[in-house]
Each structure stands twice: as structure tokens, then as C-alpha cells.
Structure 1
Amino acid sequence: MSKEPESVNRWLITLAVMVPTLIEILDTSVANVALKHIQGSLAAGEEEVTWVLTSYLVANAIVIPMSGWLARLMGRKRFLMLSIAVFTASSLLCGAATTLAQIILFRIFQGLGGGGLQPMSQAILMETFPPHQRGMAMGIFGVGVVLGPILGPLMGGYLTDNFTWRWIFYINLPVGLLALYLAGAFLFDPPYMERRQRGEVVDYLGLALLTTGIGALQIVLDKGQQDDWFSSPFITALAVVSAVSLVGLVFWELRHPRPVLDFRILKNRSFAIGNAVMFFGFFAFFGSIVLLPLFLQGLMGYTAYLAGLVLGPGGMLALVFMPVAGKLTERIDARWMLAFGMLVCAYSLHIMAGFNLYIDFGTAAFARVLQGIAMPFFFVSLSVVTFAYVPREAMNTASPLYNLLRNLGGSFGVAFVTTLLARRTQYHHSVLAEDMTPLSPAYELSFEQIRNGLAMQLGEVADLAERTRVVIYQMLQREASAPAFNDAFFSQGAIFLLLFFCVWFMRRPPRGKHEGFVE
């Protein structure tokens, strides 16, 4: 039997929900650095092995929005424990997989198990802490949300290099068993939580439209740039299926008495605007998280370790400032804190937009440190403002939608920056290449200098001229990529500046335990 809330220490409840949430978020990125090892071990093709990542993301994205409905169907505690059990068992199976088909299948189950952990954890935390302390609850929740994508590749790289790629999955087993015990011991279903009634009509069409639309969309976002977007019939077909399904889902759910995903909650102005800000905020944040390591390793020649050192201080500061930002929401209008976070994020991206091929380590790390300070103020304050006027009984409906848009924002952001980077590199390449002709004295001088340098190293080999052209092309590509990164960073910073103006259309949240948060 579930315990009453008064009999359970809120910090034990916090631990019970944060342990599974953190490992689930880590698993969205932990396998990225191990793909080459998985490919070699399972004799898979380069394109085929990426389904190890895509299968998890698709399954995860499908379950997130329907987690509120599933919690109502079977009870929130039971649903959370089932999710942890499925996630843990499938992690063990992923590590033991002997073929590519097996690991993709088990990753699907892992994603299905993990999908409900984030929204349910957020809903439980928002209910566990008193209304005036919801900022602190979101500060704790934000530690996993922001640090997970940063720590995932570092942990994956360490386990893969020092053990085998299988340990990136095996490590989930003891943590999952701990999470299962904590959930069983310290979580409860609140008395006001609505349960599905016997004989209630199940929204089967809504389930089908949601599964099809979100699944197809996630594949489009994950594979689009790789397949050159709409030049691929496969991507085009999936995009059409996704668009039709999601548009149909909105119209159907607004008319259904018991929808899988209740869009009616968007009538709450602050909640609706907050969801839009979250989508575009994580669109810009995740885009920059992807771009910075690419710039440092691809153009600056940093090792994975050095690139990690650039990202590390920002991640540590985010860890420190999450609870600080949460505590400050009890005394300061969270909208001002949110605006501060946006402006600092925009400034950090402005610095990144000025990077060149000669920046030092400190310059790169400073921009990341600013971002690490800003993101806690953005994430925590936005959560407080967004949920301030959402009733407790609606948390199971509101949290899945909020988490869905956060995850989709990140997926759209990654797809956008990788595409923009490729397109802008092509543009800058064509501009720089205009002067690289035998008729240009500067080009001829550079050609001779590089040719003479190669001749000193290799001697007068037959293909010396061709090797010189290859070196020049590589230099050209590097010089063209740098301003392309600048363009991408600039676009992400501009998004935060535009979001700054949206803040003031949201209602001022109450502050302190004597003001009127919605209970």
C-alpha cells in the first residue's frame, strides 16, 4: 500500500525519482561515442549502426506524451515502477546483444521504459514540494536535464575505453535496481489523482495518431540531414505521415472526452507560452551543445579529453547554480530570473559566434562557463512560471506535454544546426574558392610555397602537384567551416534574444508561502 505523503521525507521521494531520471537522460547520449565499437563488434554498416541511437529516441519520444494517460490507466507508482523495470531489464539485454537486430530491438524496449520517467518525476516533484518551493524542486530536476547530455558522452567514452561498450548498458543494472527499491518504498499515488474508470472508452485512435506522428517525426529529425532531407523519398514520406498524423491528433484530441494527450490545458496562457519558450530555448541550447565539440575537435584539433575540459566547468557550474536558482525563485519574480538567463545565454552564443581558428582554451571555456551559469536560471525559472497556475491534479497532464516539447526542441535544434552548418560551409567554400584559380597571383604564390614544403618532406614525387592541391583543399574546407560555425552560433543566440520578449506575456508567479500558487 502506498504511504501517505506526510509520512515520507520529501528528500527520499526526490532521490527516488531523480535516480532513474538521471540514468534515462544519460542513456539518450551515452551510446554516441561507442557507435564505432558497437559497429565493429556486431559487424554492422556505418548507416545501420546509427539505428542504435534512433530506435531509442523514437521509442522514448512516443511514450513521453502518453505517460500521463498511462499513469491514469494503471496508477502512477505502478507505471513508474514498471518503466524502471523495463528500462533496467532491456539495458541488460542491450549489453548482452550479439547482433545488430537484437540491440536495436532491445533499445526500443529501453526507450519505451525510459519515456515515462522524466514527466512522471517532474510531476511527482512538483507535488511533493510545497508550492512556494517548486523552484527548488525544478532546480533538482534540472540537474539531470542539463547535465545528462553533457555527462553522457564522457561516461560512455570512459566505460568504452577502459572496459567494453557493453558496460554502458550494464552500468544501468545496479542503479535500476536501486531506483526500483526507492520507488517501491517511498512513492505514493496522491488521493486526488484521477484513475481510469471501469468501462471508460479508450482513445485508440489518439494512441495510433500519437505513436505514428511522433515516431515518424523523430526519425525525420534524426536521419534527415544524413539523407539530404526531402531529396530522400523515405524522409519525405515520413514527413508527410508525421504532419498528417499530428494535425489529425490535435483535432481529434480536442473533441475526445478522455484524450491521451489533453491539449485543453494550453488554454492556460502562462503554460502555453512557457511550452513555446521551452521548445525554442532547448532548440538553441542543444544546438550549441552539439556545435561546440564539433568546432573544437574538427577545426581546432582538440582531443576528446580537451573538448571535455572545455565543457566540464560549465557543467559543474550548472550543477551548482540549479538549486541556487531554485531558492531565489522564492524571493525574486521568476520572470526576471528567466530574462537574465536568456540574456546571458545570448551573450555566450555571441562570444561563440566570434570564434576563429586561433582562439585559446580560455576563450572557449569562458563562453561555455557563461552558458553553464545561464541555463539554471533559464530552466528553473521557466518551469516555475509555466507551472505556477497549473492545478496539482493536472500535473500528470501538463508535465508530459512540457517534457515532449523540451525533447522535440532539442531534436529540432540538433537537426537545424547540422543542416545550417553544412549549407553555410558550402556557401563560404564557394566564396573562398572564387579566388583560387591559376590566374590569381596569391593562389600561385601559396601553391608554390606549399609545393616546396611538401618537396622538402617527400622529395620530388610524381604526384606532388596533386598532393599540393589536396592540402590546399583541406585548408580551404577548414577556412570555410569556421564562419559557418559562426553563423550557426549567431542564429542560436538570436533565438534567445527573441524569446526574451515572450517572457513578459506570462503571468507573474506568486512568491513565498503566503502567496497564491495553485495547489
Structure 2
Amino acid sequence: MTTNSMTTATQAPSVPQSLEQGLLRVIAAPAQPAPARVTFTARIAVGLVGMLFASLLAILNEQVTAAAMADIQGAFLIGHDDGTWLTALFEAANVATMVFAPWFGITFTLKRFTIGAVLATMFFGLLCPFAPNLPTLYMLRILQGIAGGCLPPMLIIVALRYLPPDLKLYGLAGYALTATFGPALGTPLAALWTEFVSWRMAFWQIIPLGVLCCVAIQQGLPADPVKLERFRSFNWIGFVTGFPAVAMLVTALLQGDRLDWSNSEFIRVMFCAGALLLIAFLVNEWFQPAPFFKLQLLARRNFTHGLSTLLGTVILLVGIAAIPGQYLMRVHTYRPLQTAPLSLLLAVPLLITLPLTAALLNTRRADHRWVIATGLALMFATCAMGSFMTSEWIRDNFYLLQALQIIAQPMVIMSILMGVTTGLPPTDGPFASAMFNTVKTFSAALATGLIEGVGTVREHFHSSMLVDQLGNRALVANQGVDAAYGLNQLAHRIHEQAIVLTSADLYRVMACVAVALLLLVPVLPVRIYPPWSTTPSSSH
């Protein structure tokens, strides 16, 4: 009797233990089998370079068309309001696709899926200048946004899968290059095409690079078998809730300022419906055995810190890049050709500072927490100096601010990538890539909405205050021979000063974001070591 009782107790664990073990099996189970170990060779290196070019192609396609949008609108005889939808629809499709691209990349193989996405991006870009009407152009931009959104997530996956531990950080530096160097090239290339060649090149510039990266990927990456059986467990609920959720929220952020935010019924519907669908998507992903987002990764402290810091960092990057350009364009009527030196000053040195930062973090003595704190401190210094700008500032006054970013951006981005990816097995690479890229691109849309919204509010405030102060000095304002000319000049000066004060306020907002990120550094992340290190380190 005693033996039977012991046997029964051994074979039938308690109900709470069974539930706990079942939950742990669901959480720990990979969505796909571990990929076979592949020896890193020169041929695979060529494939990785092709992947790098594919990701860069997607970024350039996005940034150059956005910078050349004024010329594109003029060529198609499109007004400003209709033109904003060209960017909004593209970005909404682009960001929403990044949630699901890694799953499809694993299913159809990284090699085939990436080449197909590159060819589709090239094809739709080739057709855009020939669009017969505005709805057709909208549809082509949406399809190109979907195709382009498939490319950046693939780079992280192949870097985690194929690179040996001692080279992994250099592969991540390549990804960081697409996130920093790529956007910085947008304005110079747009200026080159629109000023000296043709506005059509804003769409066609990707074709030579696309052909090159397709050849490199085809020749370099191994051919994995297609896994169409994964469609049997396809997460349909996640797809039908996640895609429209992200697309709605991005659309609301990019159109919110133009339509007056909560005063627009369309924006209210987009935000409310998008938020409800996003909640449904996240709840489904938590319990889904084959998710697109593996939310359980957030239990890793460095992963959570990386995503939260990434959100704020992208806001900083977008703000620091956008404020000088908008100021110079609106106050001094600069065209992209005249602002291009500012972008080139940042872009070219990044080709050196990014690998150097990777080399620094690849040493055991470097603590990524101090590196990211230093980079954020330099970003704060940039914003603090920019907050003292005046109407006399021209392009030369921003060179020092851009020079600080040459050091700051690689420090922050590389430290975030190191914290997010260190300790992740290759099977979790697609999940990390989906979450990282989605947060990165969504943060860019959030930054645009924040800058436009805060900028509009502060510009109206400063305009009202300046007019009120002018009203108290009516005798001074009435002086002058030509009253009409004097009033026009006065209105211009008030508008100009309001823009200057608004730009300074935006720099102060960015400084507050940098301080908030600095406060997170001693709280969330823990010390980690380079991937090649054999010393146990905690990334939780």
C-alpha cells in the first residue's frame, strides 16, 4: 500500500506543478527548429554584405523619397495634403510589415524571401513615376512599403545566425550603419537627383544597388529548405489584429498634426481602433505557441532596457536630424542641396566610428552601460547647445552639434544592439528582430508626430506672445513711411522669431528625453560581456 502510494505520487504531480510545467514548455518552445550550424566562410561574408545592402536599400528608398517629396508633388501636380498621404501610407505599410517579415523569412528561407522582397521593391519603384493617377500612385507606394519593410529585419537574423561570436558585434555594426548612415544620406541623395538629374531618380536609384545585393545574396547565403508546413500553425489572429493595429497607429501619428489630432474624428478612430487591436494582438501573442512577438523575452532585463531605450533614442535621432533642416528651410529658405553638407558631415565619419565602437564593445574591459551613458550625455549636450539658437544661426552653426553625433550615435545604438542580442540563441533571433525593428520604425513615426505636434503648439504660443508684446508697443510698430510694407516686414519677423523659439523648445524637449534615458541606465541593464567571452554573464 505504501509502495503504490509512492508510485502514484511520483507519477501524478500536483495540479499547480503540471500547469507550471505546461506553461514553461509553451514559453520555452521555439517557433522553429534550431538551424544547422554553418561554418563562416568568405562566401557567406559576401551574402551578409548583400543583406547589408538590401537593408540599406530599404532605408535609402524611404529617406530619399521623403526628402524629395516636394519635387515629386510638383511633378505629379499634387497638393500638400494629398502629398502627405504618399508618406503616411508608405510608412504605415512599412512598419506593419516588419512585425511579420521574420516569420515569412524563416518560412520561405532568408535567401529567397529577401531576394523576392528586393525585386518587388525595385519593381514598384520603377513603376511609381509612370502612375497614371493619384490612387494608383498611392497603391504603388503601399506595395513598395510592404516590400521594403521585409528587408531590415532579415539583417539581424542572418547576423545572429551566421557570424561567429568574435565577429557578431561587427555584424551588428553593419545593421547600425543602416539605421544611422542610411538616413543621413537621404537629404544629400535627394539633392543630387532633384537638382542635377531628375526627380524620377528618387524612385529609380535603388535599382543598381538592388541588382548588386540580389547577386551577392544568391551567391553567398546557403540555400535552406522551404518550410511551408509552418502555415499549418500560422498565427491568423495575430496577423489580422497586428497588421491593421500598427498601420492605424502610424497613420494617426503621421496625419495627426495636419488634421488637428483629437479634434478630427478620423484621427480619434485611428487611435482608438488601433489601440484596441494592438491590445488584442499582444494578449494573443502572450498565449500563442507560435507567436510573431515572443513577449516572454521581456523578462530579460537588458532586452527590456534595449527596447525602451531604443524608443527614446530614435526620437532623439529623428529630432536632432529634423530640427536644423526645418529651421534652415523655413527661416533661411534652404533647399536640400544647401542642407546636404550637414548630413554628409554626420554620414561619412560614421563609416569609421561605428566599427571603432564595435571594437571597443568587443573587449572585456568595456562596460556597455558606461558607453551608452556617454553617448546619451553627448546627445544631451547637443540638445542643450541647440536650445540657445537664434535667428542669426546658419548652417555653419550646426556643424559642432552634428560633430558630437558622430561619436554619440554609434555609442548608443551599438550598446543597445549588444544588450538586446547578447545571450539570445539563434532560434530567438527572428523574434528579437521583429520586436526590435518594429519598435525602431514605430518610434520614428512617433517622433515625427511628437515634433510636429509640439512644434505647432509652441509656434502658435510664441506667435501669440510676440503679437501681444507688439501690441504693447504700438507707437514703435506704427513708425515707418510705407505702412503696408512695414506690416509685411513685421509679420515676417514675428513668424521668423516664432520658428526660432519653437526650434529651441524642440531641442529642450529632446534634452528631456535624453535625461530620461540616462536615468534608466543605472536601473535596468546589467553588465554583459562580448559574445566571444567564455565567462558566464547574466543578461537577465
Distance (Å, rounded) in 2 between the aligned partners of 1:327 and 1:436: 57
Cα 1:501–1:196 change in 2 (3 A) is farther
- Determine whether 1:140 maps to 2:174: yes
Alpha-carbon distance, 1:248 to partner: 0.8
Aligned pairs (5 A) from 1:112-511: 112-188=146-222, 195=227, 197=229, 200-331=232-363, 332-359=366-393, 361-437=395-471, 440=472, 442-448=473-479, 451-452=480-481, 464-504=482-522, 505-511=524-530
Deviates more, 1:328-337 or 1:426-435: 426-435
Distance (Å, rounded) in 1 between the aligned partners of 2:271 and 2:126: 33
Alpha-carbon distance, 1:492 to partner: 0.6
Question: Which whole-Å deviations, capped at 9, do the CAs of 1:494-513 have from their partners, x for residues lacking one?
Answer: 21122112223212121373
- Tell me, yes or no, if the aligned pair for 2:61 and 2:206 is still in contact at 8 Å: no
| Residue identity in the other structure for 1:318 | L
Cα 1:517–1:25 change in 2 (3 A) is farther
- Tell me, yes or no, if the aligned pair for 1:261 and 1:401 is still in contact at 8 Å: yes
Alpha-carbon distance, 1:447 to partner: 3.3
Deviates more, 1:101-110 or 1:61-70: 101-110
- Tell me, yes or no, if the aligned pair for 1:131 and 1:517 is still in contact at 8 Å: no
Cα 1:50–1:366 change in 2 (3 A) is same
| Residue identity in the other structure for 2:269 | A
Cα 1:310–1:41 change in 2 (3 A) is closer
Alpha-carbon distance, 1:6 to partner: 3.5
Deviates more, 1:180-189 or 1:20-29: 180-189
- Tell me, yes or no, if the aligned pair for 2:48 and 2:221 is still in contact at 8 Å: no
Aligned pairs (5 A) from 1:71-110: 71-110=105-144
Alpha-carbon distance, 1:488 to partner: 0.8
Cα 1:165–1:300 change in 2 (3 A) is closer
Distance (Å, rounded) in 1 between the aligned partners of 2:397 and 2:199: 34
Normalising by structure 2, report the TM-score.
0.87
Sequence identity (%): 19
Alpha-carbon distance, 1:303 to partner: 4.5
Q: Secondary structure at the match of 1:508?
A: coil
| Residue identity in the other structure for 2:444 | G
Q: Aligned residue pairs: how many?
A: 500
Alpha-carbon distance, 1:257 to partner: 1.5
Normalising by structure 1, report the TM-score.
0.91
Question: Which whole-Å deviations, capped at 9, do the CAs of 1:95-125 have from their partners, x for residues lacking one?
Answer: 3323222222111121111112111112212
- Tell me, yes or no, if the aligned pair for 1:5 and 1:188 is still in contact at 8 Å: no
Distance (Å, rounded) in 2 between the aligned partners of 1:3 and 1:186: 16
Q: Secondary structure at the match of 1:291?
A: helix
Question: Which whole-Å deviations, capped at 9, do the CAs of 1:372-423 have from their partners, x for residues lacking one?
Answer: 2210111111101221122121101111110110111111111101111111
- Counterpart of 1:461 in structure 2 is none
Distance (Å, rounded) in 2 between the aligned partners of 1:198 and 1:271: 27
Distance (Å, rounded) in 1 between the aligned partners of 2:213 and 2:409: 27
Q: Secondary structure at the match of 2:64?
A: coil
Distance (Å, rounded) in 2 between the aligned partners of 1:473 and 1:263: 53
Cα 1:31–1:380 change in 2 (3 A) is same
Distance (Å, rounded) in 2 between the aligned partners of 1:161 and 1:506: 47
Q: Secondary structure at the match of 1:423?
A: helix
Alpha-carbon distance, 1:360 to partner: 5.3
Alpha-carbon distance, 1:169 to partner: 1.6
Q: Secondary structure at the match of 1:434?
A: helix
2:145 to 79, 104, 111: 111
- Tell me, yes or no, if the aligned pair for 2:67 and 2:186 is still in contact at 8 Å: no
Q: Secondary structure at the match of 1:30?
A: helix
| Residue identity in the other structure for 1:131 | P
Question: Which whole-Å deviations, capped at 9, do the CAs of 1:131-162 have from their partners, x for residues lacking one?
Answer: 24332222222122112222112212211222
Cα 1:56–1:517 change in 2 (3 A) is farther
- Tell me, yes or no, if the aligned pair for 1:16 and 1:179 is still in contact at 8 Å: yes
- Tell me, yes or no, if the aligned pair for 1:87 and 1:110 is still in contact at 8 Å: yes
Distance (Å, rounded) in 2 between the aligned partners of 1:278 and 1:33: 24
Distance (Å, rounded) in 2 between the aligned partners of 1:290 and 1:333: 31
Cα 1:335–1:134 change in 2 (3 A) is farther
Q: Secondary structure at the match of 1:480?
A: helix
Cα 1:220–1:512 change in 2 (3 A) is closer
Q: Secondary structure at the match of 2:470?
A: coil
5+ long unaligned stretches in structure 1: 453-463
- Determine whether 1:17 maps to 2:51: yes
- Counterpart of 2:32 in structure 1 is none
Distance (Å, rounded) in 2 between the aligned partners of 1:276 and 1:140: 22
Cα 1:394–1:516 change in 2 (3 A) is farther
- Tell me, yes or no, if the aligned pair for 2:188 and 2:343 is still in contact at 8 Å: no
Distance (Å, rounded) in 1 between the aligned partners of 2:291 and 2:336: 46
- Tell me, yes or no, if the aligned pair for 1:96 and 1:166 is still in contact at 8 Å: no
